[in-house]
Amino acid sequence: MTEASHHTFTETDCPEGCPGCARQRMTTGQCLAEKLGFAQKTLAPWQPALAAPETAPEQRQWEYRNKVCLSAIHDGRVWRIGLKRRDAVIAVGRCRIHSAGVRKAMALFAGILPPAPSFPLVFYVQSNAQITLVIKSARIPDMEWLTDDVKNRLQNMGIEGLWLCLHPSAGHRVFAKNGWRLVWGRPRSMDTRGLVYGPTTFGQPIVELAEASLDRAEHFLNPVSGDQVMDLYCGIGAGLARWKKKTAPVTGVELSGESVACARQNAPGATVLRGMCRLRLPQLTAALEPKAPRCLVYANPPRTGMEPEVTQWLADTCRPEKMACLSCNAVTLKRDLTLLENKGYKIERLIPFDFFPNTRHLEILALLHRV
């Protein structure tokens, strides 16, 4: 089945000017080729180590995104939920990147929520079965719309938790630290791997591809009983849960408080420190086990890459035998790899993963060992 016949798009599905994906200007194959070309150019010093990309099956390259953070505005007639461009919101209610579940939930809320200013919605956030409505107010607005019928419809869609985030200064920052209210359902859900997650936790949308990247990392690191594993930027503990089954001690570091709570539940027995990795270096240094046969490191940093202090610590103090780093930014990955290579590490393999098909995003798993 060709790409064109597998998905029929209309102008309504793909609104003009939408910056969310590449569908309006290229095919899936062209999009991947463009991303790979940029990665190859950026990581040219290690071209021989660059492997073929790992991609999702064709049927999973559309309608896969079950985690979204979208702007919302009431135009005087209806709610528009989508991507903000300048002062406008481009509605993406029929976007084929989004899963059918996300589209249905968005349509439900767009149709039942009271208009602004009585319901000052600014962001619609969905993390699979958890939905958060971010309100630009310090007070809970009128909730008469949340009827038993609406609750039943949410339940039938597979939604398990509905939150309000009261955020009077919402704008550049999506969430407020306080002001969270669970208005229906339960506060946490469980993904297909049995991992607990919450409304603000991050996870890759194509679980089987995320698991494939962890398979690659685990095969390379090959943790065995007695090895020490450190998992930096550990999220909800998908990697921690693996390493804990293989060895002890295992230590993770994560900034998000909710992700830390989930990681402790998903990887019982692992030590999980909350905070920026660079601010937890004293604890990580104290946790180093000199008698452990090997120290291994897995890292999954944000787009800004590993903090410079962390990269320096890995190179000078920790000195793990092997490292696996999953990066979502080839530019910052190049910076980090250059420093580590200059400190005596060999970049053995660079494996691209197309976690977000038909978008500009590409992640790369870097596998390094100490020379």
Active site residues: 328
Asked if 104 and 157 touch (Cβ cutoff 8 Å), the reply is yes
Among residues 159, 156, 77, the alpha carbon closest in space to that of 124 is found at 159
3 labeled binding residue: no
List the strands of the sheet with 161-166, edge to edge.
Answer: 88-91, 79-85, 67-74, 121-127, 130-135, 161-166, 180-185
**Residue 18, Cβ neighbours under 10 Å: how many?**
17
Calculate the alpha carbon distances from 253 to 31, 200, 302, 340 in Å: 34, 17, 13, 20
Q: Which residues contact 308 (CB under 8 A, 6 or more apart)?
A: 278
Asked if 134 and 113 touch (Cβ cutoff 8 Å), the reply is no
Q: Is 273 exposed, middle or buried (0-12, 13-18, 19+ CB in 10 A)?
A: middle
N-to-C CA span, the chain: 47
186 residue type, one letter = R
233 labeled binding residue: yes
Q: Which residues contact 164 (CB under 8 A, 6 or more apart)?
A: 132, 133, 135, 140, 179, 180, 181, 183
Bind-site residues for S-adenosyl-L-methionine? 204, 233, 254, 300
Bind-site residues? 204, 233, 254, 300
